[in-house]
Chain A
């Protein structure tokens, strides 16, 4: 009983402190909102993030299966469940992990119309598409699949670990429009990416030998940086010691009327130039393997294995280089349209100003992340409810690659000068873990001075 109580207290704590990034978008005029839209409105004099705790975000999801598909409590063996999941996987299914931790964050109001914010955060992003053919090939082998082409093009992944130093400005143009931008310097300590691979492996029968392995149109490569010194410098390199790049965020807020607000932003429009600690591998060619052709030349015994190796090297030249390469950041597009209604209040803002706001809002949001294979879309409808001037809540329903029934909840609380923000996305998934295939958490602690 005590364990259950502790467990539920833990879950209550979790819901109280965490939230999804797209719940944070255009919500509560918090410092977190500035990171998702540099053109969002700010109604405070300054903010100071609690180091490491000012903004923590974690999301993980996969589009291929739910927890229950693999771990349901039934009489089926784990192999049966795994094979069913394998059967339902598509080549564009993927697993994504993203986490961001604000190490430093603060901002101050330069004048009535201008707010400046700077900071530093660490980000880990992993995107791996399920290589269905490779998984099936390893699980079953090639013997059950004569004449089937196993595609190499399904090998697509990108992993990044970096630190981001940033400075942004939010400028109120007039009562209707606020615009903003943020400049970022990326310091990548680890990058691994492979994409645009091609080729196939096929096992067939033929007249020369009983079976034949054909590697056709292979053109594959992997670019990496930082893997050689992964143990020593992986974190220190994120503090401007790694491969550097630059990027921009831009955004705006526009009020069509006092009740209708549009917000939009483009984030991480930038790149990293990898020139230090790079190792790139590539291979290209065709090969048909019918086995070892014995020649029975008793005068000159042939080293067939050496011959085979030389033949493979000649037909599939491969190379490892330390060449520099450019990695584009996964650009994000966000947009939201919000209609506010209900009780109207005045809110005291920074020095001698007040802002009118409504207790209720509804709206739609769209979020897009550019990914290696295709953009990752999310469509969200939301309802915001202010419980008081200092307590705001937001409830969302999201449709995306993961699911069409992702419900989220977020809360923003002002406790004196301490501002707490948190939300959780996929409440149903947490309630029934068997349906869980994605979860996002967000949490922020900041000091806000009005």
Chain B
């Protein structure tokens, strides 16, 4: 009996006495996630008619606003490092524009104002990327609304609604996040 047990004992002992864990390291298991999420934001098209009131008087400032609830998400809010917004604008008008892209809080106080874009008359290929770095602009995280003001610059050239000219605005945001797990 004793002799017959020896092989089993040898197998068990060899297997486990040489058990090797030195080549593993369970320290420093820090996973750093830095995902980049892109989402379209605001877009619109305006023609010359849109800048004229019922008396054909020029409307110099067009304004629209939307609620912006993305930052209600605490995961996003707590881990957002930067928001980069790409803008592409086609100005078919014979007039230049200023565009104001503003983030507001619940009480419509400005939380972040992206510098005015100045779009020259006839510029069909305007593009720009603006970045909001949270570290330097933490109040941005209180944003709940986005307002886009389109300001028609004064000129001696009058708008003519009978001629089709389009002002196109497009924007897309890339949210840079950072998590440590």
Q: What is A's interface to B at a CB cutoff of 8 Å?
A: 8, 11-12, 14-16, 67-68, 71-73, 78-79, 82, 137-144, 146, 203, 208-213, 289-298, 301, 303-305, 385, 387-388, 391, 393, 395, 409, 411, 427, 430-434
Contact = CB atoms under 8 A, between A and B. Distances in A.
Nearest to A385: B7
Given A292-B66, A430-B15, A142 B24 contact: no
B25 A82 contact: no
B31 A296 contact: no
Contacts of A295: 44, 64
Given A12-B12, A79-B32, A143-B174, A296 B25 contact: no
A78 B15 contact: no
A298 B63 CA distance: 8
29 contacts: A8-B19, A11-B19, A12-B16, A14-B16, A15-B15, A68-B23, A71-B26, A138-B35, A141-B175, A142-B36, A143-B36, A208-B43, A210-B170, A290-B40, A293-B42, A293-B43, A294-B43, A296-B50, A298-B62, A301-B64, A305-B66, A305-B69, A385-B7, A387-B1, A388-B1, A391-B5, A391-B8, A409-B11, A431-B16
Interface string B67-97: 1110000000000000000101000000000
A294 B172 CA distance: 14
Interface string B25-43: 1101111110111111111
B110 interface: no
A131 to B, nearest CB: 15
A294 B42 contact: yes
B121 interface: no
Most buried by A among B40, B43, B169, B177: B40
B65 to A, nearest CB: 7
A439 to B, nearest CB: 13
Which DSSP category, helix, strand, loop or mixed, fits chain B's interface? Answer: strand
A296 B44 contact: yes
A12 to B, nearest CB: 6
B17 interface: yes
B132 interface: no
Nearest to A74: B25
Given A140-B36, A431-B20, 6 more contacts: A138-B35, A210-B170, A387-B1, A409-B11, A431-B15, A432-B19
A305 B67 CA distance: 6
B31 A82 contact: yes
Nearest to B24: A71
B120 interface: no
B142 interface: no
B62 A433 contact: no
B30 A78 contact: yes
B163 interface: no
A213 B35 CA distance: 17
Nearest to A306: B67
A204 to B, nearest CB: 10
B12 A15 contact: yes
A292 B67 CA distance: 10
Contacts of B63: 296, 298
- The 4 A-B pairs with the shortest beta carbon distances in the complex, nearest first, are A291-B40, A141-B35, A210-B172, A143-B36
Given A138-B35, A143-B36, A430 B16 contact: yes
B68 to A, nearest CB: 8
A278 B38 CA distance: 36
Contact of B64 (A142, A144, A294): A294
A298 B54 CA distance: 13
A211 B39 contact: yes
Given A12-B16, A294-B64, A295-B44, A434 B24 contact: yes
A209 B172 contact: yes
Nearest to B85: A210
Contacts of A298: 62-63
A140 B35 contact: yes
Given A209-B172, A387-B4, A430-B16, A203 B38 contact: yes
Nearest to A15: B12
Contact of A73 (B8, B18, B22, B62): B22
